[in-house]
Amino acid sequence: MTERPIWAPWRIDYILGEKEENCLFCRVIEESDDRGNLVLFRGRLAYVIMNLYPYNPGHLMVAPYRHISQLEETEDEAAFEIMVLTRKCCAVLKEKMSAQALNVGLNLGEVAGSSIKEHLHMHIVPRWMGDNNFMPVLAETRVMPQALAQTYDLLKPAF
C-alpha cells in the first residue's frame, strides 16, 4: 500500500504568523464566544475545539482546561475525559462528515511536531481516500470543500 503523507502548506500562515502572547487554549476557555473560537463542546475537565489551521476539514482537538504540557501531568479523571471526548469526536466525524479513517494523536514537545507545546491537546484528523491530491503538493493550494463556520454548524449539534 502506498503511503499518503499529510501535506499542509497553507499552515505556513500559522508557522510564520504572529503568535499569541498568552496560551491560545487557556484564552479560549476564559472567553464565552464559543462559535468565534470554534469551541464545539465544554466538558467538566476538557473541551473540544476545531483547528483554525486544519490538516483536513473537520480537524478537531481535545484539550484539558488545566495548563499542562506533558501527558504524565494529566490527572486520571482529566485523562479519562480527554479519551471519552476523543472517542466522541471520532464518532461525530464518521457520522457527520463520513470520515473513512482518522488520525488521532498527541505531539508532546516541539521536536515531536507540537506547534503549541505549552498546552497538551489531542488531534483528531478525519481522512478520506484520495484526500491528498496534486493541489496541495504541486500548487500549494488546499481545496477545502467547506468553510470553518459551516463545518462548525455541522458538528456543533452532535455535541
The pLDDT, as a whole number, for residue 17 is 63
The CATH number that applies at residue 74 is 3.30.428.10
- Is residue 44 in a domain? yes
Evaluate whether 37 touches 28 at the Cβ level (below 8 Å): yes
Q: What is the mean pLDDT of residues 61-83?
A: 97
- Is residue 5 in a domain? no
- Is residue 108 in a domain? yes
Work out the pLDDT band at 9, boundaries 50, 70, 90: low
Tens-place pLDDT, residues 20-39: 578 999 999 999 999 999 99
Q: Which of 95, 72, 153, 89 minimizes the C-alpha distance to 124?
A: 89
pLDDT(7) > 90: no
The pLDDT, as a whole number, for residue 111 is 83
Which of 59, 67, 119, 121 is catalytic? The answer is: 121
Q: What is the mean pLDDT of residues 38-63?
A: 95
Evaluate whether 96 touches 154 at the Cβ level (below 8 Å): yes
The pLDDT, as a whole number, for residue 102 is 94
Tens-place pLDDT, residues 97-141: 999 999 999 988 888 777 788 999 999 999 988 776 544 544 455
Which residue did the predictor score with more confidence, 5 or 69?
69
Evaluate whether 141 touches 45 at the Cβ level (below 8 Å): no
The pLDDT, as a whole number, for residue 19 is 60
The pLDDT, as a whole number, for residue 139 is 46
Cα atoms in the 13 Å half-sphere on the side-chain side of 28: 28
121 included as an active-site residue: yes
Q: What range does the domain containing 45 cover?
A: 17-158
- Is residue 77 in a domain? yes
Tens-place pLDDT, residues 74-99: 999 999 999 999 999 999 999 999 99
What is the distance between the alpha carbons of residues 25 and 122, in angstroms, rounded to a whole number? 12
**Count of domains observed in the chain:** 1
- Is residue 46 in a domain? yes
What is the distance between the alpha carbons of residues 15 and 21, in angstroms, rounded to a whole number? 15
What is the distance between the alpha carbons of residues 53 and 12, in angstroms, rounded to a whole number? 9
In sequence order, which residues have a C-beta less than 8 Å from that of residue 130 and are 6 or more positions away? none
